[in-house]
Amino acid sequence: MPQPNRKQVLVVDADEQIDAAITAVLSPEEWAVHHAVDNATALEMANSDPFDLVITGPRTTGQQDVMLLRAMRRIRPNVRFIVLTERSTPADVIASMRERAFSYFTVPITPEIFEHMVRNATEDGWEDGVKVVSATPEWICLLVRCDMKSADRLVQFMREIAALPLAEQQNVGVAFREMLMNAIEHGGHFDPSQYVEISYVHTRGMVMCRVKDPGEGFSFDEIQHAAFANPEDDPIHHIHVRNEQGLRPGGFGVLMARNLVDELIYSEKGNEVMLVKYLAGHSSTSA
261: Cα separation from own chain's centroid: 19
Closest CA to 55 of 83, 75, 27, 16: 83
* In a shared domain, residues 105 and 137: no
CB 31 within 8 A of CB 6: yes
SS3 64: helix
Residue 287 has what pLDDT? 37
* In a shared domain, residues 154 and 211: yes
**Domain total of the chain:** 2
* In a shared domain, residues 120 and 220: no
* In a shared domain, residues 227 and 148: yes
* In a shared domain, residues 113 and 11: yes
Q: What secondary structure letter does DSSP report for 220?
A: G
- Tell me which of 90, 109, 124 is where a domain ends: 124
pLDDT in tens, the chain (287 residues): 555 678 999 999 888 888 888 988 998 899 999 999 999 999 999 999 989 999 999 889 999 999 999 999 999 999 999 999 999 999 999 999 999 999 999 988 888 999 999 999 988 766 789 999 999 989 999 999 999 999 999 999 999 998 777 778 888 989 999 999 999 998 999 999 999 999 999 999 999 999 999 998 865 555 555 555 555 554 444 455 556 666 655 556 677 888 899 999 999 898 999 999 998 765 554 43
Q: Which structural domain range is residue 138 located in?
A: 127-287
Closest CA to 51 of 68, 64, 59: 68
Residues 111 and 131: their CA atoms lie apart, in Å, by 26
- Tell me which of 124, 143, 163 is where a domain ends: 124
Residues 64 and 87: their CA atoms lie apart, in Å, by 10
Which residues touch 207 (CB under 8 Å, ≥6 apart)?
162, 164, 172, 200, 201, 276, 277, 279
Q: What is the 3-state secondary structure (H, E, C) of 223-280?
A: CCCCHHHCCCCCCCHHHHHHHHHCCCCCCCHHHHHHHHCCEEEECCCCCEEEEEEECC
Residue 246 has what pLDDT? 63
Residues 132 and 195: their CA atoms lie apart, in Å, by 12
Residue 193 has what pLDDT? 94
* In a shared domain, residues 120 and 131: no
Residues 192 and 151: their CA atoms lie apart, in Å, by 11
* In a shared domain, residues 178 and 252: yes
Residues 36 and 42: their CA atoms lie apart, in Å, by 5
Residue 70's domain is classified under what CATH number?
A: 3.40.50.2300
* In a shared domain, residues 104 and 145: no
Residue 255's domain is classified under what CATH number?
A: 3.30.565.10
- Tell me which of 93, 124, 155 is where a domain ends: 124
Residue 285 has what pLDDT? 46
Give this prediction's pTM.
0.84
* In a shared domain, residues 93 and 158: no
* In a shared domain, residues 116 and 136: no
* In a shared domain, residues 89 and 146: no
| DSSP, residue by residue, 80-122 | EEEEEESB--HHHHHHHHHTT-SEEEESSP-HHHHHHHHHHHH
